[in-house]
Chains A and B, each alone.
Chain A
Amino acid sequence: MNAAMSGTRTEKDSFGPIEVPADRLWGAQTERSRRFFRISSERMPLPVVHALARVKKAAAKANLELGLLDAEKAHAIQRAADEVLAGKHDDEFPLSVWQTGSGTQTNMNVNEVLANRASELMGGERGQKRLVHPNDDVNMGQSSNDVFPTAMHIAASLAVDDVVAAAEILKNTLTQKSEAFASIVKIGRTHLQDATPLTLGQEFSGYAAQLEHAQQAMNSALGLG
């Protein structure tokens, strides 16, 4: 069946029923946010969505171990989270950055997508007859003010890893230049005016040292240094 052909389905939350596109996995609260926050073009970054999926997967596992969530649901939520992490549902997270300041709507977006997808993985439907509840099951034991900051930290940490690695490459090239230019004496400049001389290698070693300091600061922020 081509879901896109079938129009909309009715989703419900505590504010009542609302129509959502039938071919989408998101639910009522995502749809409300989508309508109320048509602000600019910046979407919630996918690294945050993927980090939330990691948190939801871990929560389902913990809730299973605690005996709070039955095994079938817990496994289905984890499988659905794995699909999100693999990038299979990137189009299901349409919300603007310029939404509630707590990130609650993105948290619910992830809860709704995982609930509907987990239900399908269990052989059930998406929508109101789904077998997994976005709040009671996927969001079990969590507040947005728990999971959103956690996801922010995960996403930021992974992003900073990329910066540290990129800075390393630039630093190494600058160091190579500094060695290649070690014997070239040139005029130095302070206040953009001529000053006492130095070597071009010394100049480049200064640039490399600045990147080294920046890396140390980043590693320190990551708890590594």
Chain B
Amino acid sequence: MGELRIPENEPGSSIMPGKVNPTQAEALTMLCAQVMANDVAVNIGGASGHLELNVYKPLIINAALQSARLLADGCHSFEEHCVRGIEADVERMRELLERSLMLVTALSPHIGYDRAAEIAKKAHREGSTLRAAALALGYVSAADFDRWVQAQSMIGPTP
């Protein structure tokens, strides 16, 4: 998507010069997989006590402590080396927003779902903008389109 710029911390490839990867996110999702695996082990251990004594306790505490350590260290590393330095690529986000056919949703209350869908499908089929497709079909005037289709007014309840 390219919407966010994350800190470039280290070289990412042994053969591809200049490559930089989202390594902090990779480490975080890897450790999350281990934590979920530990959760399975803890659950099986907890469910496997026999009569008056559970005989899975070293497994349980080892897995639980590893999970806690991984999550604590993972939060610190991800915060310090990734989240803190995240920047928004505003230009890229505007481009993707303006190109998106889903802004057609704003027309639904005015011209109905079916006509709005027809506009979106036409724009998609022809590779045109929503605006061009809407005007070509004659379902809205240019002025109404510009007044109704505004992403800014779609991000929360209408005042």
Contact = CB atoms under 8 A, between A and B. Distances in A.
A and B interact: yes
B10 to A, nearest CB: 21
Given A185-B151, A196-B105, A44 B62 contact: yes
B140 interface: no
Contacts of B73: 166
A163 B68 contact: yes
B76 interface: yes
B111 interface: no
Contacts of B86: 177
Contacts of A184: 88, 90, 93
A199 B52 CA distance: 55
A96 to B, nearest CB: 8
Contact of B57 (A101, A170, A173, A194): A101
Contact of B61 (A155, A170, A181, A202): A155
A187 B102 CA distance: 8
A183 B47 CA distance: 49
Interface string A138-152: 000000010011001
Given A152-B61, A170-B75, A186 B56 contact: no
Interface in A181-215: 181, 184-187, 194-200, 202
B155 A166 contact: no
Interface string B52-84: 111111111110111011011111101100011
11 contacts: A45-B62, A97-B62, A103-B61, A156-B64, A156-B68, A159-B64, A166-B79, A167-B71, A197-B97, A197-B103, A200-B88
Given A186-B93, A196-B154, 7 more contacts: A48-B65, A97-B58, A103-B58, A103-B61, A162-B69, A170-B83, A177-B83
